[in-house]
Every structure is written in C-alpha cells, then in structure tokens.
Structure 1
C-alpha cells in the first residue's frame, strides 16, 4: 500500500484513541475530535509533500486559544499533546498494519512529529511570554492607578485639612489674647491647642509637598546660597534639642561649604533638616551626629553621619518611600525628636524629592540595624555645583538634547 492508504487505514482509530486520551468529558471530546481530524489531514499533507510546515496553522491556533487547556482539562500542554499523538501513532500502526508497513509509516511521520514538537515548544514559549507580559502590564497599570489614587487622596486630604486648621489656630490665638490677663490656666490650655495645631500644620504641609513631588509640580526658586550658612542655621535651630538629649552635633567646615551655588535655599534647608532630624530621632541619648562634605567634579557632597541604631540592608531603599516606618510603630514615641520618635514617614521622601528636583541624589549607607551595638548610618547628599541661575534646559538644547527631564526644570518651566 502507498503511504496515503496507510494513513487512511489508521486515521479513524488514531483520532478515536487520541481523543479519549486527551479529553476527559464526552462534551469536550466532540470538539477535540474535529481538531484532531484537522491535525491528521494536515499531517497527511506534510507526509505526502515532505513539507512539515503544513501542520503549522493548527499548532499555532492551539497555542493561542484555550484549546489545549480545554482539551486536556488542564492536564496537558501543547508539547505533551504532540508527544502523546506521536506515541499513539506508533501504537495504532503496530496494531493495524504489518511490521513492514508500520516501519514505512513511522519513518515518515516521525520526522513530521519531531518538527511539530519543536514548533509546539516555540509557540508555547511565545504564548507564555505574551501572557506573562500582559499580566505584568496589567499589574503595572493597576499599581499606577493605585499610586495616582493615593496621590490624589493625599492632595485632597491635605488641602481640605488646611482650612479648618487655620481657623482653629486663628480663633485659639484670639482667645489666648483675650484671656491672657484674667485666666492663666485657660491660656495654658490654649497654648496646648496651638502646639497641636502647629504639629498638624507641619503634617499637612508635608502631605502637600509629597503631592507636589509625586506630580512633578514642586516649584524651585533658584537663588545664591552658601551651604555653610544653611548648616549654621540648622545647628542654631536644633542645638537645643541636641543639648536636651546630650547629643554631640558637629558641623565640619569642608571645601565647597563657603562656595556660592544656585539652588532653592528654603527647599535645601527643608531637605537637610529632614535628614538631620531623622538622624536625631534614631540616635540614642549621648550619641554623636557629624555633618561633613567635600567638593567633587560638578557636585558638592554633604554627609550626615550618626552613631544611631542603623538601618538594615533591606530597609535602606524603603526609607525613601512615602509613609515608611522602621520597627514597630507601637513602640515609637509621639515626639519628632525624642529617640525613635514617631511621624508620618514623609521626611526622607520629601528630602529625596527636593534633592532630585535640583538634579542631585541622596542615599544611605549602614552596616545594619542593632539597638545595642548602634552601627550608625551615613546619608550622602549630592547637589549640583551650579555657579549660575540659568535654565538647565538651555544647555541641553545647545548640546543637541531635546527631551529635558522633570528634575531639570527651571522655576519658569514648572507648573
């Protein structure tokens, strides 16, 4: 018999056996039977022409539809289906044909099945890559949507809280002035209210700053500044707190600290204050905090080193995320400057946003977290050594770059 007759001899038995091998339910088997008949017909064409690519269409369709999972009820992959079909071809040929006919048939079909197996593996790989890519894209879109929702909530909540806080602050101040002469106890209570309102104002202002940073709307007012003066002002503000907690605050005079650069003095002060306050919070009483720096090509580096409890390696990136908290928050004190003082976890994210908006960078180094050994931590802050208050985008355009980054926007370009 010729090869076409041999194939026709085993076709019905082959389709029946492969269908029952792959499909679990009677309702599924009917659809499976049609697909396997299609596969066998293309297999026949591939054998007759010697071109194995005849079976590509059916393999391609099976790889990109639920066919393979439906046919096998979740048990078989496309490659497994091809392997099973090849094995059953051998079984049926052995049962229905003579040894010589079986050998002739299998010598021709084995090459086709070998090709089909490699093609099935390729299609499966492409399909799984596509599926994984779609899943990652979907997860990324959900994360971006969630992040936008959080940013919107922060922005709305902060602005909504701002007005009632202003009213409370104003009216409590007027009541304090009216009762100052007659009732000292009431004045003390009102001072307590005002202290609480001041703390709430700081939190709301931080929330607004985070919202501006998240939406690339942070305004920078570039002016001449000297880091030495900024650090001196910080020492004057925080020295009392350090004295209260017996902390030794040292500010070194380094090369570049008395050099004039252009940046936003108020925002740089805010960023450095946040970093320094963080060092104070996580340094036990009696510890030491040192501020130093150096001049680098194109940058000025500021380092804030403490003898505090340190930061674990896994937390060294997370501390710059919004609302991050180290350790158990239930064990934190309510003060911003007491040891392990609490807070909303916005200080370091705001510091990073401000530094990066200037075109700089901030990171931390620490050997780990240990409240007994206190390995300490060192924060590194890089600020561009700008000698002129020029628009950074102008230089970029002259250098042939046409896509300025948000971090390099000048005050006039920001919205």
Structure 2
C-alpha cells in the first residue's frame, strides 16, 4: 500500500481528532473542518510529489490571518497547531495501522511536517516583526503628538502668565514707591514679594525659551564675543552663592577664551549660567567647580567640571529633556544654588537648545551617581569658532577686518 493510500485510510479519523481537539463549538468546528480538508488535500499532493511547497499557500494564509489582538496577546499560534497535528498523526497511525505501515507513513509525513513548521515559523516571525514595527511607529507618532501638545501648552501658558505677571510687577513697584521710607519692615516685605515675582518671571521666560527651541524659532543676535569676559561676569554673579556654600570656583584662562568669536552673547551667557548653576547646586558644600577649555579645528570647547554627586549613565540623556526630574518629585524643593535644590527642569534643556542653535553641541560625562564618593560631572560645550558673522551686512557693520583682538574698554567688566 502506498503512503498516499495509507494516509487516505486514516484521514477521516485524523481530521475528526484534530477538529475535536482544537476547535470548540459547532460553528467553529465546521469552519475548521473545511480548512483541515484543504490542508490534508494539499498534504496528499505533497506526499505524492515529494514537494513540500504544496503546503506553502495555506500555511501563508493561516499565518497572515491572525488578527492584531492575536498578535498582541500571542494567541492562535499556527506553529503550535502544526505540532498538535503531528502528535495526532502519530497517535492515529499507531491506533489504526499495523506497525510497519504506520512507520512508513510517518517517515513520509515527517519531512513535510518539518518543512511546514519551519515555513510557518518564518511567516509568523515576519508578521510579528511587522506588527511590532507598526506598534512602535504608532507609539512614536503618539509621543510626537503628545510632545507637540506639551510644547503648545507651555507656549500658551507662558504667554498667558506673562501679562498678569507684568501687571503684578508694575503695581508692586508702585506700592513700593508709596511705602514710608522709615518703615523698614514694610520695605522688607515688599522686597520679598519682588523677589518672588522675579523668580516667577524667570520661570515664565524659561518656558517661553523652551517653546522657541521646540519650534526652532529661537532667534540669535550674533555679535563679537569674548568668552573670558562672559565667564568672569558669571563668576561675579555667583559670588554670594559660592561664598554661602563655601565652594571654590576656578575660571581658567584657556586657549581661545580671549579670542574674538561671533555668537549671541546673551544666549551664551544664559547657557553657561545654567551649567554653572547646575554645578553649584549638585556639588556639596566645600566642593570645587572648574571652568576650562581648549581650541579644536573650527571649534572651541568649554568644560564645566565639578566635584559633585555625579550622574548615573542611564540619566545622562534624561537631564537634557524638558521637565526632566531625577529625584523624587515629592521631595522637591526650589532653589537656584541650594544643594540638590529642585527646579522646573528647564535649565539644561535650554542650554542644550541654545548651543545647538549656534551649531554646537552639549553633552555630559560622569562616572556615575554617588552622594558619598562624589565622582563629579563634566559638561562639555562645543561651539563653532566663528571669526566673522554669517550675514555679510553684519560683517560690514562691525568692520570685521578692523575688529580689535581684545575687548574694547567699554565691554562689560566683572565687578
């Protein structure tokens, strides 16, 4: 008896066994029976011809018929179905055929079943990869939409806050002018209100800057800049904070710091101020902060190093995300230079945006986070070394060819 005839002999009980085992419910079983009929017809053709590719069409249909829910939950695995068909084939052949015929039949069927399982595994892997890729694309789109919504909210909220804040600031100044000069207590209270308004304005301005950066709308006013002067101004600005924290800040006269370059001085000042403020904040009392740098071909590098608590490797990208908070939000405390003082999480993202708007880059290096060992952190700023403005009209205005190599006498001095 040929293998085809042997298979035909056990086909009916085999199909019933598979259907009863895998399909639940009369309607489902009838539909499944039609699929099984087709499968076993193709299996017979493959057995006669010795060509397992006869099965490929139905295997492809089964593999690609899985719904998104099936893919998501890992259900209706076709490879698992084929494994059960193999097991039922063995059991049915053993129960209904002499040992020799059963062995001969399974010897002919096993290569076909192995081909089918390999093919299905390939089809299902491809379907799974496509499903995961589509899910990632959908998630990416949702995240981009969420980020855009957040940016829009920041922009609207900042502008809506700015108008009443200006009114509060103006009326507070008027009240301050009306206070009796001899009443020091009232003036102290008014100064406290003024300080709170100033801090709130800084936050609102930061929110507006974040919105400008997110929408690529930050306008830069390129002017002649000398980095050593900006750094000395910053050291003077942080003088009281440094003294109260008993820290040491060293501004080194590195190569390139005295050279003229074109940049937006206010924005560079803002970016470096955020970096130094961050270094002061996360360096324990008595620690040290060093600002150094060097020139590279076409660039100037500025480094801000501290002996602080450091940053874990997995958080070294997170700190540059807006509103990024590494600590427990429930333990948040405001403070520009207070040790581990909190903030809205906008300073470093703004610094990164400013540097990148100049065509540069900003990154951080740290061995890790450790409040006991204090491994420290080093922020690297890489700025293009522009010796003339990109706008030829500005070059003519400033007279680049005659620009002084050193700052003019009226250039802002450190106190």
TM range (shorter): 0.7 to 0.9
> 1:225 aligns to what?
225
Report the secondary structure of 1:205's partner residue: helix
Aligned partners of 1:69 and 1:77 also within 8 Å:
no
Q: Distance in 2 between matches of 1:248 and 1:50?
A: 84
Aligned partners of 1:18 and 1:85 also within 8 Å:
yes
Q: Deviations over 1:245-278 (max 9, x none)?
A: 3322211111110111122111111000000011
Question: 1:153-192 counterparts in 2 under 5 A?
Answer: 153-181=153-181, 184-192=184-192
In structure 2, list runs of 5 or more residues that go unmatched. Answer: 392-415
Q: Deviations over 1:19-54 (max 9, x none)?
A: 122234444322222211111112122223333222
Aligned partners of 1:239 and 1:249 also within 8 Å:
no
Between 1:92-101 and 1:359-368, the stretch displaced more is 92-101
Q: Distance in 2 between matches of 1:230 and 1:69?
A: 59
Aligned partners of 1:68 and 1:76 also within 8 Å:
no
> 2:212 aligns to what?
212
Q: Describe the shift of the 1:66–1:366 C-alpha distance in structure 2 as closer, same or farther (beyond 3 A).
A: closer
Q: Describe the shift of the 1:256–1:38 C-alpha distance in structure 2 as closer, same or farther (beyond 3 A).
A: same
Question: 1:110-125 counterparts in 2 under 5 A?
Answer: 110-125=110-125
Q: Deviations over 1:111-151 (max 9, x none)?
A: 32222121111111111111211222222222222212221
> 1:407 aligns to what?
none
> 1:400 aligns to what?
none
TM-score, structure 2 as length reference: 0.86
> 1:93 aligns to what?
93
Between 1:140-149 and 1:177-186, the stretch displaced more is 177-186
Report the secondary structure of 1:249's partner residue: strand
Aligned partners of 2:333 and 2:343 also within 8 Å:
no
Q: Distance in 2 between matches of 1:229 and 1:112?
A: 80
> 2:299 aligns to what?
299
> 1:386 aligns to what?
386
Once the 2 structures are TM-superposed, how far is the Cα of residue 183 of structure 1 from its aligned partner? 5.2
Q: Describe the shift of the 1:366–1:97 C-alpha distance in structure 2 as closer, same or farther (beyond 3 A).
A: closer
In structure 1, list runs of 5 or more residues that go unmatched. Answer: 392-415
Report the secondary structure of 1:84's partner residue: helix
Q: Describe the shift of the 1:94–1:166 C-alpha distance in structure 2 as closer, same or farther (beyond 3 A).
A: same
Aligned partners of 2:66 and 2:76 also within 8 Å:
no
Once the 2 structures are TM-superposed, how far is the Cα of residue 284 of structure 1 from its aligned partner? 2.5
Q: Distance in 1 between matches of 2:350 and 2:17?
A: 68
Once the 2 structures are TM-superposed, how far is the Cα of residue 152 of structure 1 from its aligned partner? 1.6
> 1:403 aligns to what?
none
Paired residue total: 390
Q: Indicate yes or no: 2:344 matched with 1:344.
A: yes
Once the 2 structures are TM-superposed, how far is the Cα of residue 329 of structure 1 from its aligned partner? 4.8
Q: Describe the shift of the 1:30–1:294 C-alpha distance in structure 2 as closer, same or farther (beyond 3 A).
A: same
Once the 2 structures are TM-superposed, how far is the Cα of residue 165 of structure 1 from its aligned partner? 0.3
Report the secondary structure of 1:262's partner residue: strand
Q: Distance in 2 between matches of 1:76 and 1:191?
A: 71
Q: Distance in 1 between matches of 2:83 and 2:368?
A: 53
> 1:56 aligns to what?
56
Q: Indicate yes or no: 2:152 matched with 1:152.
A: yes
Q: Distance in 2 between matches of 1:309 and 1:98?
A: 78
TM-score, structure 1 as length reference: 0.86
Between 1:156-165 and 1:60-69, the stretch displaced more is 60-69
Q: Deviations over 1:349-401 (max 9, x none)?
A: 1111111222222222223333343332221111111222227xxxxxxxxxx
Once the 2 structures are TM-superposed, how far is the Cα of residue 101 of structure 1 from its aligned partner? 4.3
Report the secondary structure of 2:216's partner residue: coil
> 2:12 aligns to what?
12
Q: Describe the shift of the 1:330–1:122 C-alpha distance in structure 2 as closer, same or farther (beyond 3 A).
A: closer
Aligned partners of 1:312 and 1:367 also within 8 Å:
yes
Q: CA RMSD in A?
A: 2.6
Q: Deviations over 1:210-261 (max 9, x none)?
A: 1111222222222221111111221222223222333222111111101111
Q: Distance in 2 between matches of 1:100 and 1:33?
A: 29
> 1:321 aligns to what?
321
